[in-house]
């Protein structure tokens, strides 16, 4: 898969915009903020993903080591929420045509 692609389940997206950073302080503690968004390329774009989709997280507790470049990294989160607090740490947003 090219570096500018994102796979979510059986759907693939090209990434138009992305951000990825480690934060040391938030209300839920340290973790990773990330945001990836772009159009779906594996499905008729007008059918389900009219304006693309966005996957993002706020202070996701991922065990990543510090690196200079995270290009091509694969994020495998076992749960979309913190197991102890049950608070969601990531969201998948579908931008539908209005």
Domain boundaries, the chain: 5-94
Q: Which of 13, 1, 2, 3 lies closest to 69 in space, CA to CA?
A: 3
Burial 50-70 (b: 16+ CB within 10 A, else e): bebbbbbbbbbebeeeeeeee
> What is the band of 1 on the pLDDT scale with cuts at 50, 70, 90?
low
Q: Which pLDDT score is estimated for 97?
A: 45
pLDDT digits (tens, 9 = 90+) for 32-72: 888 888 888 886 656 677 778 888 777 777 777 777 877 77
> Model-level pTM?
0.63
Q: Which of 9, 18, 16 lies closest to 73 in space, CA to CA?
A: 18
Sign of CA dihedral 60, 50, 48, 40: negative
Tokens of 60: 């996701």
pLDDT digits (tens, 9 = 90+) for 86-97: 877 777 777 654
């Amino acid at each position: 898969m090219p570096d500018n692609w994102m796979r979510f389940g059986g759907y693939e997206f090209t990434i138009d915009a992305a951000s990825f950073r480690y934060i040391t302080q938030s209300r839920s503690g340290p973790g990773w903020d990330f945001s990836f968004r772009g159009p779906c390329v594996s499905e008729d774009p007008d059918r389900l993903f009219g304006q693309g989709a966005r996957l993002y997280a706020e202070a996701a507790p991922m065990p990543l080591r510090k690196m200079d470049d995270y290009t091509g990294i694969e994020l495998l989160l076992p749960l979309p929420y913190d197991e102890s607090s049950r608070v969601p740490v990531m969201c998948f947003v579908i931008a539908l045509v209005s």
